[in-house]
Amino acid sequence: MSKASVGKKVPDFTLPATGEQDIALSDLKGKNVVVYFYPKDSTPGCTTEGQNFGDKIHTFRRRKTVILGVSRDSIKSHENFKEKQQFPFELLSDKDEKLCKLFDVIKEKNMYGRKVMGIARSTFLIDDKGVLRQEWRKLKVPGHVDEVLEAVKAL
Strand pairing category for 32-37 and 122-126: antiparallel
Spatial distance between the Cα atoms of 130 and 12, rounded to a whole number of angstroms: 9
Beta bridge partners of 135: 124
Catalytic residue among 17, 25, 46, 92: 46
Query: Is residue 100 annotated as a catalytic residue, yes or no?
Result: no
| Per-residue DSSP letter, 9 | B
Q: What are phi and psi of 24, to 5 degrees?
A: -115, 145
What are the DSSP calls for 48-82, one per residue? HHHHHHHHTHHHHHHTTEEEEEEESS-HHHHHHHH
Where in the sequence numbering do the catalytic residues fall? Answer: 46
